Amino acid sequence: MPSLFYYPKINAPRSVIDQAVLYWDSLVTVAPPGPVKSFLDRRMRQVHEAGLYTRLEADHWPQWSDAKRSFDLLWRLMKQIPPDDLIFGLDADEFMYEEKLSYALLVELFHRGLIRKVPGGGRGRVKASTALQLCLISTAARDIAGAARDRGQSILYPHTDIQAAHALAHLPVDHEVDSGLDPGRSQPGRPVLSLEVEIGGLLPVPDHEVAVQDLIVFRERYSDERRRLITAVDRLVGDLRQHHDHPRAVLAAIRQELERALADLEHAGRSARLTWRRRSLTISIALASAYAGQKLFPEAGWFLGAVSGTAINIATNTTRPTNSSMANDVSYLHRVRSALART
């Protein structure tokens, strides 16, 4: 199964940890080398100790062969942020680990005066504004996931609970960039069509705080139930990407499988004395560049159908293509304060 790749922070919030432990192979975040206890919080350390956390070192982003494209993209996205917000201040929390960035990117940021060494802060830390950190990691997230897929390492699905991070990960730039890429590859100035699908009702999480160890026990005891559900959801996502012009037919074909899998997992939860909550979770599915000029559905979204009484809504948007093969180019936005109502 794929892994949940959380960005832009090292430590994921409780709602994301719960979903990662319940449904995904592992939880992945971008983090520096060294002992994990130096940067993981208590719940994240518990996930690591259970063998479900993977540290991703982003020193390969951007790759030298793609540095021009990546830098140009970063500078254009930074124009969307007020200049004063990009400059670091006196806040003690405004630092980042330099190992999270490639050497080429560090040099460029130092040159532009956007980062500097932390005085007396020891090796590996640089001053960087919160807005700059958000822009850097969010911009890199989908490229990092795509590069991992292209290298055959693993399938990473980017997840965030920060609206601004999701926007920076997808925002198209204003025009085509001559980056020396293959003519057949999507370039950052050419937005592609994406589907925005609300699927939070299909992946319930505990309604109250549950110890990580108890979630791990549930994960192992009801492995078949949770795998059937995430497999059905993954099939729904894949079929929507391949047959995006007939979304209702896609949902109709898999509705019974989803309902059975969801009912089995919720029953398992009741047996384990878990109370489920269906939180808002939107998945962005990037389509091929050939569909960039089409508008299939209203941007505001419309009702696709219902599964076990929960509405599934879909809308059309545009997104920035990654510098990878586009296969499995999907990402998730958690709206942790939103609960879904039954239809």
Local structure of residue 262 (DSSP, 8 states): H
Burial of 25 (0-12, 13-18, 19+ CB in 10 A): middle
Burial class (CB in 10 A: 0-12, 13-18, 19+), 120: exposed
Structure letter (DSSP) for residue 10: S
Compute CA distances 83 → 79, 88, 89, 111, 166, whole Å: 8, 11, 13, 16, 20
Count the neighbouring beta carbons within 10 Å of the beta carbon of residue 68. 15
Token pair recorded at residue 291:
């569909």
- Name the pTM for this structure: 0.83
pLDDT tens string, the chain, 343 residues long: the values are: 689 999 989 999 999 999 999 999 999 998 877 888 888 999 999 999 999 999 887 666 676 666 777 788 888 888 888 888 888 876 666 888 777 777 888 888 898 889 888 766 555 788 889 889 888 888 888 877 877 777 766 788 899 999 888 888 888 776 444 433 333 343 445 778 888 999 888 999 998 889 999 999 999 999 999 999 999 999 999 899 888 888 889 999 999 999 999 999 999 999 999 989 888 899 998 886 554 445 555 555 678 888 888 888 888 888 887 765 545 688 999 975 544 433 3
DSSP helix/strand/coil, 306: strand
Phi-psi region of 270 (alpha: psi -120 to 50; beta: other; left: phi over 0): alpha
Residues near 49 by Cβ (< 8 Å), separated by ≥ 6?
A: none
CA distance 267 to 42: 30
Q: Quick check: 330 and 285 in contact, CB under 8 A?
A: yes
103: exposed, middle or buried (Cβ count in 10 Å: 0-12, 13-18, 19+): exposed
